[in-house]
Chains A and B, each alone.
Chain A
C-alpha cells in the first residue's frame, strides 16, 4: 500500500467534474444515436435518461465505497477480500480500463482511416498517439487533469456547430412519445452502459482529490453534463434524420457536422475530427494513468516503467484489431463487461462492505 499522495500532487475537488465528463465522453458519442434508435426509436432519449439516473446511483455507491476506505480501490479490495482475491479483482479492473483505452484509441484511428486517410497505417497512428499519451502521463496526475480541463474548452466548437443541423431539424420526428414498450427502451438502456463507462477511474484517482469526500457533488454534475451532451446529440440526430437513415448511418454525429457551412470553409467534419483528438486524448490518458497507478499499488512497479509497457501493449492491441468487425466485437464484448462492472460488481462491493462493517459493529 502506497502512502497518500502529498498535497502538491492533489487537485481541487471541482476538477472531478472535468475528469468524469472527459472520461465518459469518448468515441461512443459519434455512434450513440444509431445504436439506441435501433431498439427504442424516437423514444431513445427516455433510454438515455434511465441509464443516466442509474449511473448517478452507481456513482453514489462508488463514493460510499471509497469514503469508507482509506486509499484507492486496490487498498479497499485488499481489506475486503484479502491479498490474493482482492489483488485479482484490482487486476481485473485494470485490464478492463486498458481494454477501454485500447478500444478508444483504435476507434479514433479507424475513424481517421474511414473519413480522412484510407491509406493510413494503424501502427503509424498508434505510435503517434502513444507518444502523445506518454508525454501527458509522464507529467503526472496534474497534467492529466490539465488536458481534461483544457479539452473541455477545445471541444466547445464541436457543440456549437450542432446549431447548423438544428436549423433543418423536424420537431415532429420526436412524436409519438412513449411509442415503444418498456422492454425495448430497457434494451436500449443496456446497450448504452459502455458509453457511460469511464467514471470507474475514480476508483484510482480518489486519493488525488483534495477533500475527496466533498467532490461527490462535482462527480454527479459531471455525469449530468455527459447526459446532457448525449441527450442533445441524440435528440438533434432524431430530429434531423429520418429513422431509416439514422439506422444506416454508422456515425450519425459526424454526418451532422457535415452540414456545417461557412462562406470560407465547408465539410466541417474534417476539422471536428481533428479536434476530436482532444476528446479521446484525455480519456485515454486518464485510463492509462489509472492503470499505471493501480499496477504501482499492486506490484510496486515504477509508473514510468509500467507506462511504457502498457503503451506498447495497447499499440500492439490496436494494430491487431484489423477491421471493423473485430473492433465491433471488442466493443460488444466491452459493452457487456461494463454492464456487469456497473450493475453487478460495484453494487456487490458496496453491499459486501456495508454488511461487513455492520457485522463488525455488532461483534
Chain B
C-alpha cells in the first residue's frame, strides 16, 4: 500500500502540473495544502490574488462540512459559477494567475478543478481629471475594464454593441477589448485595429497610451493618431458615430479612432452647448492652436529681420520695452519659452497645492522680476504667456504636448530666414499632416480630401437636425443616423 502511493508520488512529480506547482512554490505568497488529513485533495492558490471571503465562506466551509470523494462532486457542491475541470497545464497556469483556487490530486494525468475567487481591487467611479466638463456627465473611466465596459454599455443598451477580447504582452497578459457597433462601424476599421493589436510583440503593455503608440500609423509623429478619453459619454457618442473604441485593462483611458486633425478641437461640451456657441468655441480653439505655434516665431522673425513692418506707433512702444534688453529677440524668446516649459513641468510633477504655489511664484514673481531686471521685454512676455495659454485650449492632452514641441523648430526657422522661415516651417508641418493617416484614413479630412459635408461636425458643430449622416471619413457601414424630417414647404407668410 505504502509502496504504491510512493510510486504514485514519483509519477506525479514528473508530471507537468507538478513542475508548475514547484515553480509557483518558489514564491512566498503561493499556498498549497491538503484539504484535511488523509484527504486525497490538495488546494493551491496565490494568496494576494484571491478574495479570502470567498475562500473561507463559500469554498472551505462547504467542502469541509461534507464528505467528498471526487473533483466532480466538489464541482457540484460549490455555489460558484464558471468552475472548470481541466488537465491542460497552460490553462491551469492562466487560471492560477488570475485568482483561481486549484483543487488537485497527487495522481498522474488527473484533471484539476479551478474555482474562481478573484480579489478585485478597484477605484470608485469619480469625476474626470484631465477632460473636465462644466456641464454634462461627470463620470469618468477607472482602471477596471469591466467597470469601464459597464459605463459604456449602460449608455448604449443594444446587443449591436460588439466586443472582441484580445490578450497582449507575453508577461503582462493585458486584456484588451475592441468595441464597436455592429452594422454601424466599418468592419475594415475593426479588422485593422484587431490585426494591429494582434501584431504587437512586446512583453508588458501597461497602458492604453502605450498601446496607442504601438498601433499608430506613424510611430514618429508627435500628433496622436488615436485619441484617448476618460469620458464614457464621449466613447458612447463616437461609437454611435461608427468609430472603434479600444479598452485596455488597467487604464482609465479608452482609445477611439479613426480620428482627424479637427477632432483635437472638439470637446464633449460642444455637444451640450447650443450649436452656434459650440461652433464659435471650436473656431477659437483652432485659432488658439495656430496662434500658439506661430506667435513667438512671428515676433522673432519681425523683430529680427522685418522691423519695417511695425507701424510707427507700435514701434515706439517696442523700443521703450526692448531698448535695454541685452539679448537678440531669438535668445530672449528661447529663454522665456524654456522658462514657461519649466513652470509647466514643475507644475505637472508636483502635488496640486504646491503646483499652484509654484505657478504663482514662477508666473507672477519671476515674470515681473525678469522684466524689471531688464532681461526680457514685457511685450514678448505677453506673447509667450498667451501662446502657452492658447496651447492648453485643446481638450486632448497629447496635442498640447505636440504643440509644445513644434514651437521650437519654428523659432529656429524664424531666426534663420525670418518670415520666409516661418513659412518654410509651416510647409514642413503641412507635409507631415498631409501624409499622416489614422487607421488608414486621411488625417486632414475634411479639408483634404475636401468633403464639405463633413464640415458639419469638424470645424463647426451644426445643429443636431443637420447631423443626419455620419461623417464620411469613418466610412460607416450604415451612413444614416436618422431619417431627417422633410422640411415643410416654404410658403409661410408674416402673420399667417
Residue interface mask A96-132, B partner, CB < 8 A = 1:
0000000000000000100011000000010010001
When the two chains form their complex, are residues A277 and B427 in contact, meaning their CB atoms are under 8 A apart?
yes
CB-CB nearest in chain A for B444: A146
Residue interface mask B445-459, A partner, CB < 8 A = 1:
001111000000000
When the two chains form their complex, are residues A143 and B434 in contact, meaning their CB atoms are under 8 A apart?
yes
When the two chains form their complex, are residues A150 and B447 in contact, meaning their CB atoms are under 8 A apart?
yes
| Cβ contacts under 8 Å, A143 to chain B | 431, 434-435
B399-440 interface (Cβ within 8 A of A): 417-420, 422-424, 427-428, 430-431, 434-435
> Could you say which of A132, A146, A264, A268 contacts B424, with CB atoms under 8 Å apart?
A132
> Could you say which of A117, A153, A277 contacts B423, with CB atoms under 8 Å apart?
A277
Residue interface mask A260-275, B partner, CB < 8 A = 1:
0111111110110111
When the two chains form their complex, are residues A150 and B423 in contact, meaning their CB atoms are under 8 A apart?
no
> Could you say which of B305, B313, B431, B450 contacts A135, with CB atoms under 8 Å apart?
B431
When the two chains form their complex, are residues A266 and B419 in contact, meaning their CB atoms are under 8 A apart?
no
- Please report the C-alpha to C-alpha distance between residue A139 and residue B430 in the assembled complex, in whole angstroms: 12
| Cβ contacts under 8 Å, A273 to chain B | 419-420
Q: Does A286 contact B (CB under 8 A)?
A: no
| Cβ contacts under 8 Å, B418 to chain A | 116-117, 270, 274
Q: Does A149 contact B (CB under 8 A)?
A: yes
Q: Does A136 contact B (CB under 8 A)?
A: yes
Q: Does A12 contact B (CB under 8 A)?
A: yes
When the two chains form their complex, are residues A139 and B309 in contact, meaning their CB atoms are under 8 A apart?
no
> Could you say which of A136, A153, A281 contacts B447, with CB atoms under 8 Å apart?
A153
Q: In whole Å, how far is B141's beta carbon from the nearest beta carbon of chain A?
A: 36
When the two chains form their complex, are residues B424 and A277 in contact, meaning their CB atoms are under 8 A apart?
yes
When the two chains form their complex, are residues B430 and A147 in contact, meaning their CB atoms are under 8 A apart?
yes
When the two chains form their complex, are residues B449 and A12 in contact, meaning their CB atoms are under 8 A apart?
yes
A47-72 interface (Cβ within 8 A of B): none
**In this complex, which of B311, B313, B422, B444 has the most chain A Cβ atoms within 10 angstroms of its Cβ?**
B311
Q: Does B491 contact A (CB under 8 A)?
A: no
When the two chains form their complex, are residues A112 and B420 in contact, meaning their CB atoms are under 8 A apart?
yes
When the two chains form their complex, are residues A150 and B434 in contact, meaning their CB atoms are under 8 A apart?
yes
When the two chains form their complex, are residues B308 and A266 in contact, meaning their CB atoms are under 8 A apart?
yes
| Cβ contacts under 8 Å, A125 to chain B | 417
| Cβ contacts under 8 Å, A132 to chain B | 424, 427-428, 431
Q: Does A278 contact B (CB under 8 A)?
A: yes
- Please report the C-alpha to C-alpha distance between residue A139 and residue B448 in the assembled complex, in whole angstroms: 14
Q: Does B306 contact A (CB under 8 A)?
A: yes
- Please report the C-alpha to C-alpha distance between residue A281 and residue B447 in the assembled complex, in whole angstroms: 19
Residue interface mask B107-123, A partner, CB < 8 A = 1:
00000000000000000
When the two chains form their complex, are residues B448 and A274 in contact, meaning their CB atoms are under 8 A apart?
no
Q: Which bucket holds chain A's interface residue count?
A: 20 to 34
CB-CB nearest in chain B for A153: B447
Residue interface mask B253-279, A partner, CB < 8 A = 1:
000000000000000000000000000
Knowing A116-B418, A150-B448, A264-B314, the reply to whether A128 touches B431 (Cβ < 8 A) is no
- Please report the C-alpha to C-alpha distance between residue A275 and residue B423 in the assembled complex, in whole angstroms: 6
Q: Does B200 contact A (CB under 8 A)?
A: no
Residue interface mask A10-33, B partner, CB < 8 A = 1:
011000000000000000000000
| Cβ contacts under 8 Å, B314 to chain A | 264
When the two chains form their complex, are residues B447 and A265 in contact, meaning their CB atoms are under 8 A apart?
no
| Cβ contacts under 8 Å, A263 to chain B | 311, 313
When the two chains form their complex, are residues B444 and A270 in contact, meaning their CB atoms are under 8 A apart?
no
- Please report the C-alpha to C-alpha distance between residue A271 and residue B311 in the assembled complex, in whole angstroms: 14
Q: In whole Å, how far is A145's beta carbon from the nearest beta carbon of chain B?
A: 8
> Could you say which of B305, B308, B313, B435 contacts A117, with CB atoms under 8 Å apart?
B305
| Cβ contacts under 8 Å, B431 to chain A | 132, 135-136, 139, 143, 147
CB-CB nearest in chain B for A139: B435
- Please report the C-alpha to C-alpha distance between residue A114 and residue B450 in the assembled complex, in whole angstroms: 37
When the two chains form their complex, are residues B428 and A274 in contact, meaning their CB atoms are under 8 A apart?
no
When the two chains form their complex, are residues B434 and A147 in contact, meaning their CB atoms are under 8 A apart?
yes
**In this complex, which of A12, A265, A270 has the most chain B Cβ atoms within 10 angstroms of its Cβ?**
A270
| Cβ contacts under 8 Å, A266 to chain B | 308-311
Knowing A277-B420, A277-B427, the reply to whether A116 touches B306 (Cβ < 8 A) is yes
| Cβ contacts under 8 Å, A11 to chain B | 449
Knowing A267-B306, A270-B308, A273-B420, the reply to whether A278 touches B435 (Cβ < 8 A) is no
Give B contacts to A, CB under 8 Å. 305-306, 308-311, 313-314, 417-420, 422-424, 427-428, 430-431, 434-435, 444, 447-450
Subset of 7 A-B contacts with CB under 8 Å: A125-B417, A132-B424, A135-B428, A136-B434, A150-B430, A264-B311, A267-B309
